[in-house]
Structure 1
Amino acid sequence: MTRVRILLPLLGCALLGCVLLALFAPGGVLRRDGEPPPEGREPYDPAGRIGAAQEHLRRHPDDAATWAGLGGAYLEQARRTADVAYYGKAEGAFRRSLRLPVPGGPHIDAVIGMGALANARHDFAGGRRWAERARSAAPHRWALYGVLTDSYLELGDYERAEGALRTMLDGRPDLASFTRAARVEWLRGRTGAAREALLRSREIAGGPAERAFVLWQLGELAWSGGDPRAALAAYGEALAADP
């Protein structure tokens, strides 16, 4: 089995998973420093988030922040269900947010969300454009650099990807940034450093979905490194964490 073939499962998971962790992990890109928009029943319940946001928007249809949050919840639901129909719903919510008047310009979470959506659809040039637009408007919204990192990696521009990742790590060293760091280290052939980054990610995972995501990646790393026993153990832990 070639190195490229081995990489495919890990990279596909890392791309969409990191994008969505940037959106939904505690402290992620759609989380505000002030009062958050209405959310669902618990942090890892996208269906609950969708329902709560829809109910709120029926009463407050001009809430750009909640439209952006709804778009993010649709993206998470797409990841969980593998139903790409949610991409269209996410785009509709993000674009509704972008059309609403917001002081200082379009709601930045919707701009970043559009970048994440473009990457999820494998439109990496589009993802880069949206992330660059977000950087021009709000350079200290750290998770936009995650979208930018993913875009640059998929476009083969590793130097710029590492630069964006360094900015993200300096500004917000969280699960989304450490899982991306693992991916970059792997692509650079530094498997030991990739594993260290994933172990750090496991330590700070905030809930079952995050923990399962990191454990799955540890399993992929072990499998590609020729250690099936460790891989199966990690896969089992991932399933136990979030069946």
Structure 2
Amino acid sequence: MQRTHTLSKYAAAFAILILSLCSFWLTSCNGNGNNEEETALNDTSGIPALLERKGELAKAAEWQKTKEKVAELKERITQNPNDVKARLQLATIYMVEARVTANPYYYQATFKILDGVLDRDPNNFEAYTYKASVAMSLHRFADAKQLAEKAKSINPDNAYVYGVLVDANVELGDYQKAIQMSDTMQMLKPSLEAYSRASYLREIFGDYNGAKQAMALAVQAGGPGSESAEWARTTLGDLYLNTGNLDSAETLYKTTLQLRPNFTNAEMGLAKVEKARKHYDSSIKHTENAIRTISEVGYVAFLADVYELKGDNDKAKEIRKDVIDQLEEGEKNQLKGSVMQHNGNRELAQAYLATNDLDKALQYAQNDLKLRPNNIDANELIAWIYYLKGDYANAKMHADKMLATNTQNANTLYKAGVIYKHSGDVAKGDMLIQKATSVNKNIDQKVLLAAK
């Protein structure tokens, strides 16, 4: 599932996990049921099938070429089962399909293809690297790190694997190791991927100006209109959004939509800008535009938040209930034949938090934290849940950890300030709240409401 800060945004750019959320009020979902996907995954040919796209995605210019290329590669594999190059090409296509269609089927399909490569070439560098990327998408961060380390031992001079190691170490909370991996990546091959990782690490350590500079380099390194370049441009927009510059963020998002129409990151960027301006109808419109292309659970959860802020609490509750139902069902009914199961603890914690079911939210947040006790996002989530439960001692303990990297994220600082004030350290709390509003006066309205 693509993060609302679940998976680091830079990991997400190249290894996005998105769980399809097909709700009764959404008509544009991919709509592939488990039975169809399990049949496709366990295709008698030994090569998982390519699923037909649905809705707007089926109209994309590259879709026909994708189908033709997959057919060609499958034929090559049929003629020569030991054609490792064809298997790797097929895996990369399926990884792209996972990102484009938001269908997690393709992660399991990619694993199966890559296992076929490793059966024939046990030390294949690309296979281990791609498996590490998919493991990141499934939020199996320790597994991803182990697979990437194996790939690095085979070929220590390839920049791509260091990108995966940056992402895995960030998610596991080993930020100094992530910096080392990023520096090596930069040295081996300065690129959009390398600049974007450097940008995120600078953001994590509170250097927004440096983060913007590095992400601007990432934009320049990509071809205008390409998915990677427009991802970088919209992420640069997010950095301006998070520092209160709504106009600059809006300009970047609109530029992306001119160069790459219907790009969901840009639509959601505009939705966030309009939410910050309290233009809720416009925010809903942009969110629904994104959902029509990809029904990503983070987008749907955001939609519920905007409906609540607009005053339509019934609609917000309806959407949130459906989100939880779909997430719970997805975790219980993962595809038969899955090579690696998805870890959905954080998404479920956030979903239950949105419904104010704090006991369930805490349960899943604790599960998430056990897997990565030093991750600042995991600590922020559980700190806020403890605060809302009135357990200020535990909230403060995790607030200390969520500030460990000197983050300057305004919402994080504001939450920490509120927690410290209620824990008795009023001076520090006031200082953090003042710092938060100096970074970005547009503090998330849900945070403000919960803090009262």
TM above 0.5, yes or no, is yes
Q: Does 1:109 align with 2:129?
A: no
- Aligned pairs (5 A) from 1:36-75: 49-75=69-95
Structure 2 match to 1:119:
136
Counterpart-to-counterpart distance in 2, 1:135 and 1:225: 36
- 1:134-191 Cα offsets, whole Å, 9 max, x none, are 1111111221101111000000000000001111110011111111111111111111
Match in the other structure for 2:117: 97
Q: Secondary structure at the match of 1:143?
A: helix
| Count, aligned residues | 212
Per the TM alignment, residue 66 of structure 1 is displaced from its structure 2 partner at its CA by 2.2
Amino acid at match of 2:13: G
| Contact 2:163 2:193 (8 Å CA) reproduced | yes
C-alpha separation between the residues in 2 aligned to 1:107 and 1:69? 13
2:249 aligned with 1:231: yes
Residue 47 of structure 1 contacts residue 73 of structure 1 at CA under 8 Å; is this kept in 2? no
Runs of 4+ residues over 6 Å off in structure 1: none
- The answer for the alignment partner of 2:106 in structure 1 is 86
Q: Could you tell me how far apart the structure 1 residues matched to 2:69 and 2:197 are?
A: 25
Cα distance per residue 1:69-111 (max 9 Å; x no partner): 22122111111111111111111111111111x3xx4211001
Higher RCO structure (Cα 8 Å, ≥6 apart): 1
* Structure 2 match to 1:15: 11
Query: Hey, what's the Cα distance between the residues in 2 that align with 1:10 and 1:173?
Result: 26
TM-score, normalising length from structure 2?
0.44
Q: Report deviation, 1:62.
A: 1.1
Contact 1:98 1:106 in 2 (8 A): yes
Q: Is the 1:174–1:204 contact (alpha carbons within 8 Å) kept by the matching residues of 2?
A: yes
Q: 1 CA distance for matches of 2:106 and 2:171?
A: 23
Instruction: Name structure 2 gaps, 5 residues minimum.
Output: 17-60, 262-452
1:76 corresponds to = 96
Point out where structure 1 has 5 or more consecutive residues left out of the alignment.
Answer: 1-6, 21-40
Distance in structure 1 (CA, Å) of the matches to 2:186 and 2:100: 26
CA distance in 1, matches of 2:139, 2:174: 15
Q: Displacement, 1:13?
A: 3.2
Match of 1:28 in 2: none
Query: Which of structures 1 and 2 has the bigger CA Rg?
Result: 2
Q: Determine if contact 1:119/1:127 at 8 Å carries over to the other structure.
A: yes
Q: d(CA) in 1 for partners of 2:163 and 2:91?
A: 18
Q: Percent of pairs identical after alignment?
A: 25
Residue by residue, what CA displacement relative to the aligned partner does 1:1-22 show, whole Å, maximum 9, x if unpaired?
Answer: xxxxxx94596432221447xx
Q: Which amino acid aligns with 1:98?
A: L
Change (3 A) 1:128 1:46: farther
Would the alpha carbon gap of residues 11 and 46 (structure 1) be closer, same or farther in structure 2, given more than 3 Å must change? farther
1:231 and 1:48 mapped to 2: Cα distance?
A: 38
Q: Secondary structure at the match of 2:108?
A: helix
SS at match of 1:189: coil
8 Å contact 1:78–1:86 — kept in the other structure?
Answer: yes
- Residues 142, 167 of structure 1: 8 Å contact kept: yes
How far apart, CA to CA, are the structure 2 residues paired with 1:9 and 1:152? 15
1:66 to 1:123, Cα distance in 2 relative to 1, 3 A: same
Would the alpha carbon gap of residues 13 and 81 (structure 1) be closer, same or farther in structure 2, given more than 3 Å must change? farther
**Residues 171-182 of structure 1: matches in 2 within 5 Å?**
171-182=188-199
